[in-house]
């Protein structure tokens, strides 16, 4: 198991204070205790829970300003939505998840950690078209970019963006999504964010109407 007490200072600086770091550690402990039993995370993932999931999820934080309203689609175990809510107490996070058992887990985490800036909606992203609007829509390992755009772009505010966390084929996904990008009259940009823990790269595809 990775030991957060041995992490470099740059990792701790990803969260604003000791109280937030303590909540992140508690979330990690909850995942270690219940994640595999609840079918949220595989046993092979537990030894690298911090580097693979928690620190990875924090890569998205730098794109989101305080005061923003964020919709996290397909929140699952809480990546990146719960992590973002803990690390950014002045960002309002709505977790959108279809599966009841995962919603039960997310509500359990919220009740245990009591972050006041996060709520859960059960359902598909498409069901909230016209009912919800966000400055940023986040997603991690949900669907290929073209499908993700179709499902989530209607939830994005006028000057907002999608922030999709992607694997090594992010550039290829952007190429494959050109037709959908043109349909919505939006553009995509790939960002490679290095981890302060191990130097690994997180790929984030940002989609918005215009880049400055």
pLDDT of residue 195: 96
pLDDT of residue 175: 97
pLDDT of residue 90: 96
Q: How many structural domains comprise the chain? A: 1
pLDDT in tens, the chain (212 residues): 899 999 999 999 999 999 999 999 999 999 999 999 999 999 999 999 999 999 999 999 999 999 999 999 999 999 999 999 999 999 999 999 999 999 999 999 999 998 899 999 999 999 999 999 999 999 998 999 999 999 999 999 999 999 999 999 999 999 999 999 999 999 999 999 999 999 999 999 999 999 97
CATH code for the domain of 43? 3.40.50.150
pLDDT of residue 68: 98
pLDDT of residue 107: 97
pLDDT of residue 5: 92
pLDDT of residue 66: 97
Taking the CA atoms of 86, 88, 55 and 13 in sequence, report the sign of the dihedral they define: negative
Domain that holds residue 47: 4-208
| Other CB atoms within 10 Å distance of the CB of residue 178 | 11
């Amino acid at each position: 198991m990775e030991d957060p007490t041995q992490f470099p200072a740059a990792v701790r600086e990803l969260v604003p204070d000791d109280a937030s770091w303590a909540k992140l550690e508690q979330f990690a402990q909850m995942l270690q205790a219940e994640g595999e039993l609840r079918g949220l995370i595989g046993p092979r993932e537990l030894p690298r829970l911090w580097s693979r999931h928690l620190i990875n999820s924090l890569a998205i934080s730098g794109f989101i300003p305080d005061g923003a309203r964020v919709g996290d689609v397909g929140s699952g175990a809480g990546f990146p939505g719960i992590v973002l809510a803990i690390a950014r107490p002045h960002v309002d996070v709505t977790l959108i998840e279809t599966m009841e058992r995962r919603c039960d887990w997310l509500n359990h985490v919220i009740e245990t950690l009591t972050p006041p800036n996060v709520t859960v909606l059960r359902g598909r992203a498409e069901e909230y078209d016209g009912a919800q609007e966000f400055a940023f829509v986040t997603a991690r390992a949900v669907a290929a970019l073209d499908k993700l755009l179709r499902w989530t772009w209607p939830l994005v505010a006028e000057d907002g963006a999608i922030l999709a966390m992607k694997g090594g084929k992010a550039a290829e996904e952007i190429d494959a999504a050109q037709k959908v990008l043109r349909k919505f009259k939006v553009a995509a940009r790939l960002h490679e964010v290095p981890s302060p823990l191990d130097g690994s790269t997180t790929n984030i595809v940002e989609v918005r109407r215009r880049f400055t």
